[in-house]
């Protein structure tokens, strides 16, 4: 074990979460040695045997004082669900949103429900980052129990690499919020003293790594040749993410490269659940629906389930996961009180039980399935425009396990001459792939090249030209007295740009700043992005949006290294700083500062 390192994979999902680990004993550790955590705690002290645990936490009071999370949440407790999706909400005054959420929550509380308990839950009003951190704290505790059982205390002395997965469509702000929640949960040097590196990888990329590494030694491995293309579709609880790959080399090493710009949408399995609540309200009528859900389906808080609806959703889960393409399928769900005595044949209710037909389930599934097929079609079109053809569609993820989803995607692909494959261990392919990514040694990456998903740049000033610039952008520089145009976009990385994995730096921001001896040497730069195919010329364009504010601290640079200038023959001297902010972009953004070719100071980020 001496000299080995430990790789931990964390796949925090919208509906379920998975964790895995593996001891790296060489540069080519067999992925069959990856251990997935199965022993998730359940009710009455029972331990589960599933590869994942529900991504739910409750702030309802527990008699024992125990934190209620995952499968430990009893039917009567209010629960926080689908919180992951809230990490990627656009920032529109977070403080105001939190206040509104708190007031809504207080208004929705039926305090009579807690008269026989220890009072109402501590929530509502918590920031999604804090809720996710609270949940992941419990996940981490179960992980450490597994590590202690497997390695004893030795794991605390081992170098550790942590690999976190995120949706391919995640914004940079959402990635930052994910990082913060994971660190806040204790996935840091305090828990793991020898934490060496924290890596972020997109969920479809992680799944692709695992699928391809297992495929190499299996029956499909012999069918793969250089130039083959395939679409990896990771259909999860919240998002459906897709990336297409082309086989670059087979021997002596197996490598692939992205063949299309990754795409995705929030249309995962949890949206089937939401469609179920809309169907249920239509079936019951709003008045009866509100007796079990407090609000109509369109007004319910996104991340919160009332106890009665929670019990009904658990019952619906069986119907959802087993639904196939059979025309005569029928499921029966027991309605909670006070609807448990209803009899109404016109509404499909008998003895407090409501009937769901195949057509009903198709109504719930089809919007999500059709969006998924459209996303696959978009990937196929991108690959074909580049002169290649798609050979396989690999379908993974929890929603990808759905028999109905598989049948529909399989037929959709078959009509285009493409084979659909649902790999073994498809549900845990992402977390296994996260560990497989961490097991790769430097320079041995399976993925040789990625494509940038959006434009990145920074607004800058240019010498003013009446032929090129708008007068509203003009200003006079206080030091040199010249006229400039502000807010002109300098695009550093373009959408679809090839990002070679072995390349340390993918772009740089060259900055020119002036200051006098009394002024701060911390300078700010704004990183801007655009998701459109064509990027705008001006920062003021509505399609350009802020990613982060970068603060470059040059305080450690000796004063004599700065250029000195004067605003005139007898003017006050000032300093000129020419420096670079370097950018690395794989699954997430990384920054560092160089001055005169030497790495100095630090870069801090503030995501909008």
> pLDDT tens across 273-312, in order?
999 999 999 999 999 999 988 777 776 666 677 788 888 9
Contacts of 478 (CB under 8 A, 6+ apart): none
Residue-level pLDDT at 571: 77
Distances (CA, A) of 342 to 333, 352, 353, 378: 13, 5, 8, 47
pLDDT band at 346 (very low <50, low <70, confident <90, very high): confident
Contacts of 109 (CB under 8 A, 6+ apart): 120
Spatial separation of the C-alpha atoms in residues 564 and 578, rounded to whole Å: 12
**CATH class of the domain comprising 5-201:** alpha beta
Contacts of 98 (CB under 8 A, 6+ apart): 125, 127
DSSP state of 119: -
CA dihedral 339, 308, 357, 352 (to 10 degrees): -20
Buried (b) or exposed (e) across 215-250, using 16+ Cβ within 10 A?
A: beeeebeeebeeebbbbbbbbbbbbbbbbbbbbbee
Chain centre to alpha carbon of residue 516: 43
Domain boundaries for CATH 3.30.420.40 within the chain: 5-201, 202-267+368-450
Longest dimension (CA), the chain: 95
Residue-level pLDDT at 43: 77
pLDDT band at 164 (very low <50, low <70, confident <90, very high): very high
Lowest mean pLDDT among 24-28, 163-167, 219-223: 219-223
CATH 3.30.420.40 fits 202-267+368-450, yes or no: yes
Closest CA to 172 of 543, 530, 582: 530
Crossing angle of the two packed helices 307-322 and 286-293, in degrees rounded to 10: 100
> How, if at all, do strands 390-396 and 229-235 pair?
parallel
Spatial separation of the C-alpha atoms in residues 191 and 189, rounded to whole Å: 5
Mean pLDDT estimate for the chain: 87
Report the residue count for the chain: 608
pLDDT at 93 over 60: no
**CA dihedral sign, ordered 205, 206, 207, 209:** positive
pLDDT at 151 over 90: yes
Closest CA to 431 of 129, 35, 30, 14: 35
pLDDT at 316 over 50: yes
pLDDT at 244 over 70: yes
pTM, 2 dp: 0.85
């Amino acid at each position: 074990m001496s000299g080995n390192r430990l790789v931990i994979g964390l796949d925090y999902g919208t509906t379920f979460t998975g964790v895995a680990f593996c001891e790296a004993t060489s540069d080519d550790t067999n992925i069959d040695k990856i251990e997935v955590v199965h022993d998730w705690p359940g009710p009455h002290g029972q331990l589960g045997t599933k590869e994942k645990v529900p991504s739910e936490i409750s702030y309802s009071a527990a008699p024992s004082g125990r934190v209620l999370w995952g499968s430990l949440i009893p039917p009567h407790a209010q629960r926080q669900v689908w919180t992951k999706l809230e990490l990627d909400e656009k920032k529109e005054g977070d403080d105001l949103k939190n206040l509104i959420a708190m007031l809504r929550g207080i208004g929705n509380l039926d305090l009579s429900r807690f008269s026989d308990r220890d009072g109402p839950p501590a929530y509502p009003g918590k920031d999604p980052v804090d809720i996710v951190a609270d949940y992941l704290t419990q996940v981490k505790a179960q992980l450490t129990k597994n590590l202690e059982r497997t390695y004893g205390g030795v794991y605390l002395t081992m170098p550790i690499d942590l690999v976190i997965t995120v949706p391919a469509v995640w914004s940079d702000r959402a990635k930052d919020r994910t990082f913060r929640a994971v660190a806040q949960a204790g996935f840091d040097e305090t828990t793991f003293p020898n934490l060496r590196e924290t890596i972020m990888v997109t969920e479809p990329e992680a799944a692709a790594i695992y699928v391809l590494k297992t495929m190499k030694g299996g029956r499909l491995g012999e069918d793969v040749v250089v130039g083959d293309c395939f679409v990896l579709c990771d259909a999860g609880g919240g998002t459906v993410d897709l990336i297409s790959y082309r086989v670059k080399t087979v021997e002596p090493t197996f490598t692939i490269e992205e063949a299309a710009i990754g795409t995705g949408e929030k249309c995962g399995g949890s949206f089937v659940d939401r469609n179920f609540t809309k169907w249920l309200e239509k079936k019951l009528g709003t008045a009866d629906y509100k007796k079990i859900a407090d609000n109509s389906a369109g007004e319910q808080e996104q991340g919160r389930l009332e106890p009665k609806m929670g019990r009904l959703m658990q019952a619906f889960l069986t119907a959802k996961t087993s639904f196939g393409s059979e025309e005569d399928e029928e499921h029966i769900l027991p309605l909670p009180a006070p609807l448990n005595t209803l009899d109404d044949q016109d509404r499909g209710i008998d003895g407090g039980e409501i009937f769901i037909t195949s057509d009903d389930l198709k109504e719930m599934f089809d919007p999500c399935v059709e969006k998924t097929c459209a996303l696959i079609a978009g990937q196929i079109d991108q690959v074909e425009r580049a002169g290649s053809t798609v050979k396989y569609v690999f379908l993974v993820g929890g929603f990808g396990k759905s028999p109905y989803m598989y049948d529909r995607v399989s037929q959709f692909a078959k009509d285009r001459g493409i084979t659909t494959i649902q790999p073994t261990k498809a549900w845990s392919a992402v977390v296994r792939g996260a560990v497989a990514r961490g097991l790769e040694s430097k320079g041995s990456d399976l993925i040789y090249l990625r494509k940038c998903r959006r434009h990145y740049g920074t607004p800058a000033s240019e010498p003013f030209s009446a032929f090129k610039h708008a007068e509203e952008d003009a200003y006079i520089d206080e030091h040199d007295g010249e006229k400039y145009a502000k807010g002109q976009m300098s695009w550093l990385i373009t959408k679809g740009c090839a990002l070679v994995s072995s390349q340390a730096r993918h772009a740089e921001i060259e900055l020119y700043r002036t200051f006098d001896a009394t002024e701060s040497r911390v300078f700010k730069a704004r990183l801007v992005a655009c998701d459109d195919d064509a990027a705008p010329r001006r920062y003021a364009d509505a399609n350009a949006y802020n990613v982060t504010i970068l603060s470059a601290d040059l305080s450690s640079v000796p004063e004599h290294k700065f250029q000195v200038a004067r605003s005139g023959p007898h003017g006050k001297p000032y300093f000129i700083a020419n420096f670079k902010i370097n950018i690395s972009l794989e699954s997430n953004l990384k920054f560092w500062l160089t001055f005169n070719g030497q790495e100095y100071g630090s870069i801090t980020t503030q995501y909008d």
